[in-house]
Structure 1
């Protein structure tokens, strides 16, 4: 669906040159919700603007639906962009136009007949949950409602791809969740491919199938969201995972655990998918001559299933602890003995 090869963008100033996007290769399948996450300055906003050529690349190719956008001239590019919708962090609505007229605007540009425009706008107002607000102006709407208008406008020309540039970062948590639910609904109903950038791992966790982590213009880690949650390799990825798992000071927490629980063995358990529903702790207590103390843990949900981590203390004889650890290894729960950050 989307193929990116050797994509780079270099900005030149009087004093220096800045490489915002550095030789990226990426492949996104049709119908996926693909997240790109990174801290401020990682290059993610430039990256998403390169996908529809709001920025022209310094080097590399972007191919969407077998059409190489990076080689198109202005006329053909304008037509190709009709198949790529985009929503923005700060909505970018026309304040002098009503909700209806904001959504109709790209249809007017495309030359869609008035009756057809009216029908399409009404459909989109219903789709994004704004029935009855067609004659309202942006100043009369909440932040979440404004973003719903932005989403409806982006869908006006029946795009095959929807690009989301920090689409929820200006919203409160409850409104963010409602917008994310809407994006999932749109993805499922319309089969739309969605590419979103964010600095919030909660957004990735809640709706994305795949994720790429950006740092200093490069993709440093990518893969299935559940796999990245379970086995973050880069330090920046571990920080993002800790956003969701509730322990941004994991190194400090682990140090406290080790200082305060020195007897027996400390193990970290990783639960994935169906294994999160296993009664493992009670099984260990019944099957082995052990005291099992839960020290710290959390389970959260991703699009591909549950993911959780838990620190436990196993107290008993060395032999019995080893037997218990071997038993855990034979289940679908991953175990890490004497874990380090």
Structure 2
């Protein structure tokens, strides 16, 4: 559905040439929800602008929905963009138009007849859950309702790809969950490919099938979300995962316990899939003569299954602790000995 080959993008500024993207290679499958995560300046927004032709690469080739975007001229680019919907962080609605008229706007530009426009708008209002608000103006809507209008507008021309530019970062947590659930529902109902950029791992965890981690204009890690959560390779990826699985209280408790029990170990356990529902800790405690304190635990759902983490402090002889860690590893549990300052 989306292919990016050897793409580089530089910008010329008064301070010199800035490399925004370096040797980007990526294949995004039809029908998947693909996440791109990185901090500010990582290059993710530039990548998204290349996908809809708002920017052109200096080198490399980009195909989106069977159209080459990287070298398209104005007429062919306009046609290609009809296959690509876009939703924005700050909604970008027309404030003088009602909900109905905002959604209809891209259909008007495409020359769709009025009766067909009205039928399509009614269909989209129902799809995004805005029944009863068709004649409201953006100023009368909540943030979540505004984003629902933006999503409906992006879907108006029946695109094959939906690009989401930090689509939930301006919303509160409850509204964010509602919008993410809506995107998952749209993906399943319509089979549309969704590319979502964000700086929040919670968003990636909740709805994405695969994720690319970006840093300094490069893709530094790529994989299925569940596997990236379980085995993050790069420092930046580990930081994103830790933001979800560790809390300040956990770290403070770990520091306190290591001071009190200097011979003990802080252990991070990770579980995926059906392992999260097994009584493994009961078996572990019964089969080992250790002092065990549970510091923090959580189970998160991803599109591909559950991912759980559990932080323990264990104390015993070195041989007993080593045997306990080997016992856990033989049961397909991820085991990592951490320190209080990690």
Change (3 A) 1:129 1:57: same
Match of 2:84 in 1: 84
- Distance of 1:42 and 1:254 partners within structure 2: 32
- 1:97-112 aligned at under 5 Å gives the runs 97-112=97-112
- Distance of 2:248 and 2:225 partners within structure 1: 19
| Segment of structure 1 superposing worse, 2-11 or 318-327 | 318-327
- Distance of 1:40 and 1:257 partners within structure 2: 36
8 Å CA contact retained: 1:242, 1:250: no
For the pair 1:297 / 2:300, whether they are aligned, the reply is no
Match of 2:231 in 1: 231
8 Å CA contact retained: 2:86, 2:164: yes
- TM-score relative to the length of structure 2: 0.93
Change (3 A) 1:242 1:267: closer
The Cα of 1:222 is off from its aligned counterpart by 1.3
8 Å CA contact retained: 1:268, 1:311: yes
- 1:263-278 aligned at under 5 Å gives the runs 263-278=263-278
For the pair 1:39 / 2:27, whether they are aligned, the reply is no
Change (3 A) 1:313 1:52: same
Match of 2:327 in 1: 327
- Distance of 2:198 and 2:248 partners within structure 1: 18
**SS of the residue aligned with 1:117?**
helix
8 Å CA contact retained: 1:2, 1:62: yes
- Distance of 2:34 and 2:11 partners within structure 1: 26
Match of 2:114 in 1: 114
Change (3 A) 1:266 1:147: closer
Number of residue pairs the alignment of both structures matches: 341
Match of 1:72 in 2: 72
| Segment of structure 1 superposing worse, 225-234 or 199-208 | 225-234
Change (3 A) 1:213 1:338: closer
- 1:1-341 aligned at under 5 Å gives the runs 1-247=1-247, 255-337=255-337, 341=342
Runs of 4+ deviating beyond 6 Å: 248-253
Alpha-carbon displacement from aligned partner over 1:33-68 (angstroms, at most 9, x marks no partner): 001111111111111011011112111111123321
- Distance of 2:253 and 2:122 partners within structure 1: 53
8 Å CA contact retained: 1:202, 1:243: no
The Cα of 1:229 is off from its aligned counterpart by 1.1
- TM-score relative to the length of structure 1: 0.94
Q: Could you tell me which runs of 5 or more consecutive residues in structure 1 were left unpaired when the two chains were aligned.
A: none
8 Å CA contact retained: 1:162, 1:195: yes
The Cα of 1:315 is off from its aligned counterpart by 3.7
Q: Could you tell me which runs of 5 or more consecutive residues in structure 2 were left unpaired when the two chains were aligned.
A: none
**SS of the residue aligned with 1:70?**
coil
- Distance of 2:72 and 2:308 partners within structure 1: 46
- Distance of 2:81 and 2:180 partners within structure 1: 24
8 Å CA contact retained: 2:34, 2:208: yes
Change (3 A) 1:241 1:248: farther
- Distance of 1:256 and 1:318 partners within structure 2: 20
